[in-house]
């Protein structure tokens, strides 16, 4: 019984203690609510309110001519906080029907009644983050903010317009991989290389946390204003980029190649004016910019490397252009491995026979190049390696865009996979690897008087139109060879494009001289090479007598049986060179008297917008005859004045765009609701639907330019 009494006593003691603790808690709660309410309310508000980072607008990327290559387009999601502290409930009751009608008319995805039910249901459920609409554009947002109730601000209306920026490329895949993409964790190209400049500086804003860990600005003001990113002015010329991309794509499609690249560089600056990387999608057969092969792909260059090999021997005085070498019937053996020239025939009737070193290069003789280098450096191959690396072709270019491939050129004899064949294989562009851009940089040095420059893709960095930084040319190597050697190299390269050279038929009838080298290389496989799979290339510069631009074209793995550099790559080079020559008067030195005479006369003009034409004529003090009362004018250039005429455009009828430039023609036709296909370049010569006809139901028209 004694034990039972002890247990009963302890139980009552525990019960009493629990009661005291409970009373203490209740008392503390009452004390907090009565005397410390303000203090803990402030603590709670601090917990649900925070200063949060606000992402700034990302900088724009422009071409050298001011065309937008990449821009951030603002898009907005609209939410409604039905419990926002500043909402006047009486006003809300009046405005819900008006807001419902506004949303129905603006977005056209729901009826007025459906929007009304959404708003009333959000109010009933006391929703603090009711989605109204996603992906609203900037102009629609601006219109909404100007309407009654919403213009009161997020606190008094409850409407939250949450911004997100979408990165757009107005020119699509043109230079797409070089411009890059802006996605968190996977940026590439210029978007990655200049991310710090483009990103801007984050702002700070006081926001309140709502249910679901959603944050709402307490006002439209910022504690720290976000500072938008800087703009990049690239070196890209969109017109040349367009020509380069289309010429390359045409060749790739015609020969069903796996991929190809073309790069155009300004000789004196190293600025990249055009760069295209097109890779075939095996399912669709179309070509897209998915990898920057120009920068990242290290491949065996093949015959374009012969320039470096022969240049080394010439500069070391091992041979001259006049020295002869016996190439036989186009078949030779080095350590029991055969080497053939492109004109080898099994019956023994092929080959170049005995030719000079200049002809070895111009006719791209593998045997002639290999024999010359073996004779010159066979006893001391290290001297050949030292010469090549001394010319700067064994090092990376150090461009700012990440991902540049590492060139592979032996530094020491017997390192790596060096063998008795290595010297002669290197001579013709095997057992070495370079990216297309690295090869071009070397060729550009020949055009640039022997000075090797770093390729650059950005000319300026600007802030709201003000230049912050200018990228001047960067010299990588002041001189790659002697002046006398340089002259011989240029002579050889010009010979390739003249009669007797491997690319003579491509440049026949060309109005200006070109210089370059064709290349054809087998595609390597593990431990060997594929049968009948090749990589075609052409590298060079133009005009040859006063180089302005250098260019390389590389086409990988054609499927039509045509694979020589002269047949596949050189035509793309020629197309790009022709376009530049046609639009760059400074290259027309031989025609300078005719140009001066033409410039002394009144300038001709296409028909077009009268307001713009009138501005030009007034600024240049060019006399005109006649008057124009319409928006569009026809132009006839006389000896001493411009004759004007009207071009009336009637609504609902097909506009007359003959004689206009492409920009004006597209403006008129597209505003008339027509879908336009364009053929050629220049001035509109014909249109598939007669002017003045009624607009057809399919609304498709083709215009031909010439």
In order, the DSSP letters of 234-278 are: ES--HHHHHHHHHHHHHHHHHHT-SEEEEEEEETTT-BEEEEEEE
Strand 130-137 relative to strand 61-62, pairing: unpaired
Are 479 and 450 in contact, with CB atoms under 8 Å apart?
yes
Q: Where are the alpha helices (DSSP H) in 256-362?
A: 293-296, 306-315, 357-362
Residue (of 437, 397, 432) closest to 301 by Cα position: 432
In order, the DSSP letters of 650-662 are: -TTB----TTBBH
**Rounded to whole angstroms, how far apart are CA atoms 569 and 324?**
29
**Rounded to whole angstroms, how far apart are CA atoms 609 and 635?**
11
Q: Would you kindly state where each structural domain of the chain is located, as residue ranges?
A: 52-234, 241-587, 602-648, 649-706
Whole-structure pTM value? 0.73
**Rounded to whole angstroms, how far apart are CA atoms 665 and 677?**
11
pLDDT higher than 90, residue 677: no
For the segment 559-566, the average pLDDT, to the nearest whole number, is 92
Residue (of 662, 655, 628, 661) closest to 643 by Cα position: 628
Cβ neighbors of 185 (< 8 A, separation 6 or more) are none
**Rounded to whole angstroms, how far apart are CA atoms 679 and 227?**
44
Are 320 and 357 in contact, with CB atoms under 8 Å apart?
yes
Residue (of 364, 376, 380, 381) closest to 327 by Cα position: 364
pLDDT value at position 598? 45
Q: Evaluate the CA torsion angle 453, 455, 459, 462 in order and state its sign.
A: negative
Task: Name the architecture of domain 649-706.
Answer: 2-Layer Sandwich (3.30)
pLDDT value at position 31? 67
Helix%, strand%, coil% for the chain, nearest 5: 35, 25, 40
Are 682 and 667 in contact, with CB atoms under 8 Å apart?
no
For the segment 281-300, the average pLDDT, to the nearest whole number, is 94
Count of residues making up the chain: 706
* Three-class SS state of 327: coil
Are 248 and 278 in contact, with CB atoms under 8 Å apart?
yes
pLDDT higher than 90, residue 222: no
**Rounded to whole angstroms, how far apart are CA atoms 403 and 227?**
29
In order, the DSSP letters of 392-407 are: TTTS----SSS-PPPP
Report the range of poorest mean pLDDT among 19-23, 186-190, 215-219, 563-567. Answer: 215-219
Fold of 52-234: Penicillin-binding protein 2a (Domain 2) (3.90.1310)
Q: What is the pLDDT of residues 13-62, one digit of tens each?
A: 777 788 888 787 777 776 666 666 665 555 454 457 777 777 778 889 99
Q: What is the pLDDT of residues 296-346, one digit of tens each?
A: 999 999 999 999 999 999 999 999 999 999 999 999 999 989 999 999 998
Cβ neighbors of 459 (< 8 A, separation 6 or more) are 64, 233, 234, 235, 271, 470, 471
Sole residue written with tokens 């240029």: 490
Fold of 241-587: Beta-lactamase (3.40.710)
- Largest Cα span, the chain: 136
């Amino acid at each position: 019984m004694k034990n039972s009494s002890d247990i009963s006593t302890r139980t009552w003691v525990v019960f009493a203690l629990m009661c005291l603790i409970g009373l203490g808690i209740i008392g503390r709660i009452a004390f907090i609510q009565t005397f410390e309410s303000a203090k803990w309310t402030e603590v709670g508000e601090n917990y649900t309110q925070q200063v949060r980072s606000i992402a700034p607008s990302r900088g724009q990327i422009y071409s050298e001519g001011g065309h937008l290559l990449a821009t951030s387009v603002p898009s907005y999601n609209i939410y409604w906080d039905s419990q926002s502290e500043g909402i006047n409930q009486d006003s809300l009751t009046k405005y819900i029907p008006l807001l419902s009608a506004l949303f129905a008319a603006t977005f056209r995805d729901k009826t007025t009644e459906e929007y009304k039910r959404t708003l009333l249901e959000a109010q009933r459920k006391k929703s603090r983050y009711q989605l109204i609409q996603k992906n609203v554009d900037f102009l629609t947002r601006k219109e909404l903010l100007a309407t009654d109730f919403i213009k009161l601000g997020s606190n008094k209306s409850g409407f939250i317009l949450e911004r997100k920026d979408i990165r757009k490329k107005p020119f699509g895949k043109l230079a797409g991989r070089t411009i890059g993409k802006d996605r968190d964790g996977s940026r590439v190209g210029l978007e990655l290389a200049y991310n710090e400049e483009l990103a801007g500086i984050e702002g700070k804003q006081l926001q309140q946390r709502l249910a679901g860990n959603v944050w709402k600005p307490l006002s439209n003001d910022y504690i720290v204003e976000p500072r938008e990113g800087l703009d990049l002015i690239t070196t890209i010329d969109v017109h040349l980029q367009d020509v380069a991309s289309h010429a390359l794509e045409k060749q790739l499609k015609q020969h069903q190649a796996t991929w190809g690249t073309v790069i155009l560089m300004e000789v004196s600056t190293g600025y990249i004016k055009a760069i295209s990387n097109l890779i075939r999608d095996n399912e669709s057969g179309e070509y897209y910019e998915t990898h920057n092969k120009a920068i990242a792909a290290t491949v065996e260059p093949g015959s374009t490397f012969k320039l470096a090999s022969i240049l080394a021997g010439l500069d070391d005085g091992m041979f001259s252009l006049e020295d002869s070498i016996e190439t036989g019937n186009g078949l030779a053996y080095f350590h029991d491995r055969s080497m053939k020239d492109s004109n080898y025939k099994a019956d023994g009737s092929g080959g170049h026979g005995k030719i000079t070193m200049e002809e070895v290069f111009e006719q791209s003789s593998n045997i002639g190049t290999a024999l010359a280098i073996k004779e010159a450096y066979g006893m001391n191959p290290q001297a050949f390696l030292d010469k090549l690396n001394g010319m700067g072709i064994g090092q990376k270019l150090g461009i700012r865009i990440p991902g540049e491939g590492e060139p592979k050129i032996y530094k020491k004899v017997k390192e790596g996979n060096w063998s008795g064949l290595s010297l002669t294989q290197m001579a013709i562009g095997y057992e070495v690897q370079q990216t297309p851009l690295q090869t071009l940089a070397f060729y550009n040095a020949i055009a640039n008087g022997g000075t090797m420059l770093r390729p650059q893709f950005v000319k300026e960095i600007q802030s709201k139109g003000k230049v912050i930084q200018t990228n001047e040319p960067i010299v990588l190597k002041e001189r790659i060879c002697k002046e006398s050697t340089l002259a011989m190299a240029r002579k050889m390269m010009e010979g390739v494009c003249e009669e007797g050279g491997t690319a003579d038929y491509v440049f026949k009838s060309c109005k200006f001289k070109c210089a370059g080298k064709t290349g054809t290389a087998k595609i390597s496989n593990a431990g060997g090479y594929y049968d009948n799979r090749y990589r075609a290339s052409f590298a060079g510069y133009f005009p040859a007598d006063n180089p302005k631009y250098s260019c390389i074209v590389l086409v990988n793995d054609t499927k039509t049986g045509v694979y020589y550099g002269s047949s596949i790559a050189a035509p793309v080079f020629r197309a790009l060179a022709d376009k530049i020559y046609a639009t760059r008067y400074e290259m027309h030195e031989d025609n300078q008297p005719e140009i001066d005479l033409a410039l002394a006369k009144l300038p001709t003009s296409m028909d077009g917008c009268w307001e713009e034409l009138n501005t030009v004529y007034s600024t240049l003090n060019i006399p005109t005859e006649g008057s124009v009362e319409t928006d569009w004018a026809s132009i006839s250039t006389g000896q001493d004045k411009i004759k004007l005429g009207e071009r009336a455009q009637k609504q609902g009828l097909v506009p007359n765009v003959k004689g206009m430039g492409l920009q004006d023609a597209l403006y008129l036709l597209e505003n008339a609701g027509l879908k336009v296909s364009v053929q050629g370049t220049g001035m509109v010569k014909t249109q598939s639907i007669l002017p003045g006809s009624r607009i057809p139901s399919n609304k498709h028209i083709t215009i031909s330019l010439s």
